[in-house]
Structure 1
Amino acid sequence: MASITYDNACCVYPGADTLAVDRLNLDITDGEFVVLVGPSGSGKSTALRMLAGLEEIDSGQIRIGGDNMVGVAPKDRDIAMVFQNYALYPNKTVGENMGFALKMRGIGTEERKQKVAEAARLLDLTDYLDRKPAKLSGGQRQRVAMGRAIVREPQVFCMDEPLSNLDAKLRVQTRTQIAALQRRLGTTTVYVTHDQVEAMTMGDRVAVLKNGALQQFATPADLYDRPVNAFVAGFIGSPAMNLFTAPVTDGTITIAGSTVDLDNEAQGLLHKSGLTHVIVGIRPEHLAIGRDNGINADVALLEELGSESYVYAEVKDPTITTLDGDPVTLVARSPHRAPAKLGDAIRLHQADRAVHLFDPTSGNRLV
């Protein structure tokens, strides 16, 4: 096991005008589970492949256990990779797949069997060691790929979207197993996903990337409670945070006849900033649904989830727009079923003062 350091690490693909990974700086501690998350093209998989030695580092450094990995071959980095497509040998049994890397390293049969048996026990694969991959479910195949990495006892696990090929229910089950297993083994792990729910539920810390650049590296709670900019605010959370641009008048923000309730710090900042517009962020759970007082809106969509509902309501106020300039639809979470009907006129009011403000030009957090 070892710590990992990205020190201004850059990668640019031949013929490209922009960096795939742009001066990435991360300090990952020994035994930590870190998730790289971002939309398609954000550079997360490239950053992982740089760590594994599958992509060249064009400038900067990546260090594992304090040793600079620039110029070090992948086989010499003591890293085990788990891929999205399992990459199992179809003509070999589960046991043979898991022990193949050990066999190539010249490890004896008995020791190999012992390591495979121990990994199979951890992964509940003991009864499947003699089966071929074609006779396994998707989740079992992914566990075999995990087992193949575990038997090597590497100092770092690299996982590149390992759950993308699984159905929704199996994905939830398997991500819980992976997170529990990593904590049991204590091996430093870098995990790539585009699914922010996976990132929030699995990682000790999460690195959010956009266009090759690191936006924020923090615990899931910090990302959710204090996003550093509007991009992170909109990316982290499901449903996403309500983000819209609103005018500022005398240090106050008014939406469809309702004044946004701000704490003293936010009010003071707006008074001093001189901004005429600001990006406002309110999470769905911080909006309550009523008939009296609050933001005037019409119900456009209802999502019934059984234990709760999400109400999508169109706001009739031309002075506020989405970040793309479109009319605003606010999402509110209701702990009750069917709190309104389609087309109903409702009022949305703040459940508390959990309002996020961002600079309209840079998108950076104001308060």
Structure 2
Amino acid sequence: MASISYDNACCVYPGADKLAVDSLSLDIDDGEFVVLVGPSGSGKSTALRMLAGLEEIDSGTISIGGRSMVGVAPKDRDIAMVFQNYALYPNKTVGENMGFALKMRGVSVDKRKARVAEAAKLLDLTDYLDRKPAKLSGGQRQRVAMGRAIVREPQVFCMDEPLSNLDAKLRVQTRTQIAALQRRLGTTTVYVTHDQVEAMTMGDRVAVLKFGVLQQFASPAELYDRPRNAFVAGFIGSPAMNLFDAPIVDGAIRVAGGTVDLGADDAALLRRSGLNRVTVGIRPEALGVADGSDGVPAEVALLEDLGSDTYLYARVTDPSISATGGGAVTWVARCPRRTAARIGEAIRVRQTDRTVHLFHPESGERLN
């Protein structure tokens, strides 16, 4: 086990005019589970491959346990990698796959068998040690790949979207197993995913990247409650935060003849800001359907009945406001199950609390 430090680490691919990873700085504690998350092309897998030595560090440094990894070969970094495609040898049994790296190191047969047996017990693979990968399910193959990493007893686990080949139910089950296993082993882990639900449920801390640039590095709760900018606000949360640009009139935010309900501090901040427009963010759980004439007029565009809750998509018509990035404004409200609203119905959407996120309309940086 060891701490990890990225210090202004950069990577650029040959022929590219932009950095794949741009001045990444992260300090990861010993034994911490850190998730790198972002959309496709955000540089998260490149950052992981730089740590593993599979991509060159063009500038800056990456350290493991206080030792710089610049120029250090992958085999000398004491890292175990779990890939998206598992990379199992089809002609070897589960036990042989798990112990192969130890065999290449010259570890004795008895020690190999003992460490493979221990890892197999942790992963519920004891009954499958003599099977070939073709006779296993996707979840079992993934656990074999995990077992191969565990038996090496490395300082760091690097996991590059290991669950992406699994079906939805198995993903939920396996991510729980991985998180529990990491906490039991206490091995520093860097995990890459594009799925923000995975990131929020698995990581001690989460690093959100966009175009190779770190946007925020914080606990899941902090990312959700206080996103640093509009990108993080829109990326973290399912369904996503409602984000829209609206005018500021006399220190208030006007929407379709109504106003966004702000706390006293936020209202004072808007009056001091000197802005005439602001990007507003409201989580779905802070919106609901009004019983009376209060709230913002809207039309029901879609209902998603999830059993325990219903997500109501309401189209808001107001030429003075716009969705972040352009287009019509649709708000998502989290409603009690079996809501009485119907598609095409005219309703009024109201705030159920004053938790409002305010961002600069140009830079996207958080204001409150």
With normalisation by structure 1, the TM-score equals 0.99
> What's the RMSD between the two structures over aligned residues?
0.6
Residue 26 (structure 1) aligned with residue 26 (structure 2): yes
The aligned runs of 1:98-113 (5 Å cut-off) are 98-113=98-113
Equivalenced residue count is 367
> What is the CA-CA distance between 1:339 and the residue it aligns to?
3.1
* 1:306 partner SS: coil
With normalisation by structure 2, the TM-score equals 0.99
Q: Quote the residue 1:341 is aligned against.
A: 342
> What is the CA-CA distance between 1:343 and the residue it aligns to?
0.8
Q: Quote the residue 1:114 is aligned against.
A: 114
Structure 2 gaps, min length 5: none
Instruction: Determine if contact 2:305/2:337 at 8 Å carries over to the other structure.
Output: no
State how far apart, in whole Å, the 1-side matches of 2:32 and 2:336 are: 35
Q: Quote the residue 1:66 is aligned against.
A: 66
Q: Quote the residue 2:135 is aligned against.
A: 135
Q: Quote the residue 1:200 is aligned against.
A: 200
> What is the CA-CA distance between 1:258 and the residue it aligns to?
1.8
* 2:5 partner SS: strand
Q: Quote the residue 1:274 is aligned against.
A: 274
> What is the CA-CA distance between 1:254 and the residue it aligns to?
1.4
Deviations 1:183-240 (A, max 9, x none): 0000000000000000000000000000000000000000000000000000000000
> What is the CA-CA distance between 1:326 and the residue it aligns to?
1.2
> What is the CA-CA distance between 1:278 and the residue it aligns to?
0.2
Structure 1 gaps, min length 5: none
Q: Identity of aligned pairs, percent? A: 78
Aligned amino acid, residue 348 of structure 1: V
Deviations 1:64-112 (A, max 9, x none): 0000000000000000000000000000000000000000000000110
Q: Quote the residue 1:300 is aligned against.
A: 301
State how far apart, in whole Å, the 1-side matches of 2:194 and 2:326 are: 26
State how far apart, in whole Å, the 1-side matches of 2:26 and 2:283 are: 28
Stretch deviating more after TM superposition (288-297 or 53-62): 288-297
Deviations 1:8-52 (A, max 9, x none): 000000000000000000000000000000000000000000000
Instruction: Determine if contact 1:289/1:339 at 8 Å carries over to the other structure.
Output: no
State how far apart, in whole Å, the 2-side matches of 1:146 and 1:165 are: 14
The aligned runs of 1:225-304 (5 Å cut-off) are 225-292=225-292, 293-304=294-305
> What is the CA-CA distance between 1:269 and the residue it aligns to?
0.9
Aligned amino acid, residue 322 of structure 1: A
State how far apart, in whole Å, the 1-side matches of 2:335 and 2:144 are: 41
Instruction: Determine if contact 2:98/2:144 at 8 Å carries over to the other structure.
Output: yes
Stretch deviating more after TM superposition (262-271 or 53-62): 262-271
Instruction: Determine if contact 1:288/1:350 at 8 Å carries over to the other structure.
Output: yes
Aligned amino acid, residue 10 of structure 1: C
> What is the CA-CA distance between 1:255 and the residue it aligns to?
1.1
Deviations 1:104-158 (A, max 9, x none): 0000001100000000000000000000000000000000000000000000000
State how far apart, in whole Å, the 2-side matches of 1:255 and 1:197 are: 31
